[in-house]
Amino acid sequence: MYTISLITDADIAAVTTVINSAYEGKPGSKSWTSEGHLVEGQRTSESLLSDLIQKPGVRMYKCCDEQSTVLGCVLIEEKPETLYLGMLSVSPDAQAGGIGKLLLQFGENLAKENNYSTLTITVIDVRAELIDWYRRKGFAPTGNWEPFSNKSSSAKGDFGFMELQKQLQ
């Protein structure tokens, strides 16, 4: 059984580790869920994450097992027209256990509870398998695109972020 709750300052280190390990993947692996072969450096740092969750309208949730081990997380940002989900991450050792789907559903439920009609994400545009996963969950490309930028890592190629959006009933 998993629980989802807001992170606290005490969770920053564990959540940062989950995010970085999820985005880097296991050493030597080119998993469809990782981007270590595309990006050099860490996805985030404790200080960047701490600063991010201090912003108005931004919250980070963690997914824990019965032992309170952080296995996944998702960033939620309230925007004027949509609820944005970012840094959806699952520890490599816990992947394929339904945690990503659970966190995505949690975000969708939050959006509905707060009367949003859309849920928005961004994905690196060359991540075809990940884009396909989100499409199977009801997301569609919006046509919006922005160049890759990250304060704690650099691109190993030429790509950017593709925006996908899900219409909510």
pLDDT at 73 (0 to 100)? 97
Residues 114, 85 contacting (CB under 8 angstroms): no
pLDDT digits (tens, 9 = 90+) for 135-160: 999 999 999 998 766 544 444 456 78
Q: Can you give the pLDDT at residue 35?
A: 53
Are 90 and 105 within 8 A, CB to CB? no
pLDDT attached to residue 119? 97
Instruction: State residue 44's pLDDT score.
Output: 80
Question: What CATH number has the domain bearing residue 63?
Answer: 3.40.630.30
Identify the pLDDT of residue 33: 53
pLDDT of residue 38: 53
Do the beta carbons of residue 19 and residue 89 sit within 8 Å?
Answer: yes
pLDDT at residue 137, as a whole number: 96
Q: Give which of 74, 70, 82 is closest to 106, Cα–Cα.
A: 74
Please tell me the predicted confidence (pLDDT) of residue 125: 84
pLDDT of residue 160: 81
Domain count, the chain: 1
Structural domain of residue 132, as residue ranges? 3-167
Q: What are phi and psi of 45, to 5 degrees?
A: -135, 165
**What is the model's pTM?**
0.84
What is the C-alpha separation between 77 and 104, in angstroms, rounded?
A: 14
Which residues in the chain show pLDDT less than 50?
29-32, 151-156
- Specify the pLDDT at position 41: 52
What the block records as the tokens of 105 is 């559903």
